[in-house]
Structure formats: structure tokens, C-alpha cells
A = this chain, B = another copy of it.
Amino acid sequence: MDCSATAKPMIDAGDMLAETRERFCIPEGVRYFDGNSLGLMPKVVQLHASNVITHEWGTGLIHSWHDAEWRTLPQRTGAKIAALIGAEPQQVVACDSTSVNLFKVLVSAVRLRAGRQKIVTDSDAFPTDLYIVGQVARLFGLTVVGVPAREINDNLDEDVAAVVLTHVDYRSAEIYDMQAYTQRAHEAGALIVWDLSHTAGAVPCDLDGSGADFAVGCGYKYLNGGPGAPAYLYVAERHADACEQPLAGWFGHARPFDFAPDYKPASGTVRFLCGTNPVIGLSVLSRALDIFEGVCLSDLRSRSIRLTALFIDSVDKHLSSHGFAVASPRDATRRGSHVSLRHQHGYGVMQELAKRKFIGDFRMPDYMRFGFAPLYNNDEDVHALIDAIDQIMISRDWEKPEYQQRRDFT
């Protein structure tokens, strides 16, 4: 939310964000640095979910499609997310998974650019995006040009239908300039699809302002929607009514309850809905998003930068002798809300941290990833983390089997 749009007078940013920390359940003794994988549970969702299940479902039954407004949950939840990603509200719906939504918007994009033969994407993108890009290319007989993100702009020509790029890199946290990439794609006549999974809720962006075409993202990281929360998608209003998305289900129909045999898409982004939507999951996500109400996004960003900068400075100061390399940009303007360190014993270090209830995650081959969620992480978390890593590095036998056998996190 833009500061100017906040109804109540802004209080000091630090105070406001100290207050939001209180709204999350932080298990005793835990230091949590994985909000970029699964956000902490907002306290309010416990009662809320209980209400949805017991009252809306248990008592209201099918009447709740109207009375509890289940029907419009994708739109209402989408509107809350829109405020976090620089979009007018009607352009975002919450539904399905990020991968499914990427499929929908990318097929729509290549149909809008029919005749062009290539999709260009970041070869280091989160793999599920690459898999979906591959399938779309296969369905339409297109070629995938996978190159490092910074080479994308050198690979654009009049044969590129779409560019697919993640705004904040899932490993390095590098931010790719939304305005610049979008503009360059458009100069080549291509459309661009942004993945905002590591952006929304921690790093402001401006979809409308940058002229982006499509975006997708997940609900379970910085949006705190819970494990496997519904994802979302954005379609620029100028495109929506020209889009034909392939997962044409009844919730995307102009009049779903006419049960008409012919598909007539709803106008706007609503046509990107498919089957019956996950009411419980959407309700939880929607309620979790209320925490952002009254939070100024530039304050959120300042706090995120302060935390990641403090961490990087402390690594330099206290951990460099242990051989850790900072794998995230040192330039704060190019860095998202997590920091990755690389270390040959990274997996083992994460194991030792977990024993001490410091929770981050590990990404192949040697990335130790620490998320700093500005709604709840604070300076003390950073200091404690640095101390813990320092302690762990002092006398560990890294050849022990427990440090070799990788355990999967997400």
C-alpha cells in the first residue's frame, strides 16, 4: 500500500514493523530465516480458519457461496495482493498454483504473439518455471532460449513471443530491473511474464508503472498464506479481454451458473480462473494479507534492506575467516529480501543450525539461504544467527556422514 493511501496517520516505520512481528506465531526458541520459503503463521489465521470451517462450511453450507462471499474470494484476495505489487486491483486473481498460473498466462502470451517462434527465459530460474516454459514451447512448437538473466536482453528479436523472468532470483536474491527488462521486451515486440514469488510482500515492485504484461507468484512465502497456499496471477487490463487461456474452467466463464455448454470467458482477469477455488486456503491467505494493511511498502523495503545489509556486514566482519562467500548482490538496490552464502560445507552448517532451532534453507549445490522477512525479522535475529554460525564453524568434523546426506527442504 502506498503511504499516501493509508487512512490512519503513519506512525514511525520501525514501530509499525515491530508491531507486525507481534502478529505472528514464533515458536519458542526458534529463529526463523525461511519466510522466503514458508512464511510464519499469522496468529489471526487460527481463529479465522476455524470460523471458515465450522461456521461457513459446517453451518452455512452451500449458502456460503453467497453469504460468506466465497464466490469472490479469488478477486478479493487478488486485490489485496495487487496493492503489494503495484497493480490496480481488478487485474489480479488468487487461484491455483504458481506453475498452473504460469501455464495459463504464458499460453495466453504466445497466442497474443502468434507467429513468433521463441520464448526467452532465465536459464537459472526456479526449475518449475523452466518445466512449464518447456511444455508451453512444446505445445506450440516454439523454441526455448534459456540464457542467464543478464543476457536476456541480448537475445531479443522480432521472433520472440514472450520473455519469462523472475523478479527476485530464488538463489542469489538479485533483483532484475522490471522497468528496463519490460521496456526492452516491448521494443522487440515481445510480451513479458514476471514471476514475483520472491518479491510480493517484501520487495515493492510496480507492474502497472513498468508496463508489465503478465505476472504470477505464490502465496506461501512473504504473503504468509500457509503451506501450499493458493498462488496468484496478474494480467494487464489492456490484454485481458484479448486473452485465451487454456485452462478454461467454469469459474472463468462469463456466467458460470447458466451451465452453458459453450465457453464464453468473463471479461477481465476473472477469465483466468479455472475450476472451483480452494475456499479454505484462499480464506486463510486473504486473512493473512490483512497484516499488510497500514504498512507502508517503502518502510517495509527499508527494513528489509537494513536486515540484509546488517547480515552481509556481519558476515564480512565475523565469518569471512571461515570461508563463506556472499552470493547475493552487495548493492542493496539490486538485492531482494534474502541473502545466500556459499560454502563447501553449507549443507552441514544448515543441519547444525537446525539443531539449534535456527531455520534457513539449503539450495543445491552449496547455497545457504537466509530470508529476512521485514514483517517479523529483526536485528536481534541477525546477531543471533551470526553468533550461531560462528560457534558452529569452530570445531565441527565436516566429514561425518550426517553432514553429507542431504535432507530435502522446500
Interface of A with B (CB < 8 Å)?
A: 25, 27, 30, 32, 34, 37-38, 40-41, 45-46, 49-50, 53-54, 56-59, 61-66, 70-71, 96-100, 103, 123-124, 126-128, 130-132, 134-135, 138-139, 146, 218, 220, 226-231, 246-250, 253, 256-263, 274-282, 284, 354, 359, 361, 363-364, 406-410
Docked-complex contact A139 and B41, CB < 8 angstroms: no
Residue pair A134, B99 in contact (C-beta under 8 Å):
no
Kindly list chain B residues whose C-beta atoms are within 8 Å of the C-beta of A138.
246
Shortest CB distance A279–B (Å): 4
User: Could you name 29 residue pairs across A and B whose Cβ atoms are closer than 8 Å?
Assistant: A25-B54, A25-B58, A27-B61, A41-B53, A49-B280, A50-B50, A53-B226, A61-B359, A65-B408, A66-B407, A96-B100, A99-B247, A99-B250, A126-B250, A127-B250, A127-B253, A127-B263, A128-B275, A131-B248, A131-B249, A132-B248, A135-B247, A135-B263, A227-B280, A228-B281, A231-B275, A257-B364, A280-B280, A280-B281
The residue that A61 contacts in the complex, of B34, B134, B258, B262, with Cβ under 8 A, is B34
| A248 and B231 alpha carbons, distance in the complex (Å) | 16
Closest chain B CB from A338 CB (angstroms): 14
Q: State the copy count for this chain.
A: 2
With the chains together, A333 CA to B323 CA distance in Å? Answer: 73
Q: Is the CB of B259 within 8 A of A363?
A: yes
Question: CB distance A99 to B57 under 8 Å?
Answer: no
Q: Cβ of A134: which chain B residues have Cβ within 8 Å of it?
A: 248, 263
Docked-complex contact A409 and B58, CB < 8 angstroms: no
Q: B103, B228, B229, B278: which contacts A246 (Cβ < 8 A)?
A: B103
A278 pairs with B248, CB closer than 8 A: no
Interface residue from B146, B250, B262, B275 paired with A100 (Cβ < 8 Å) = B275
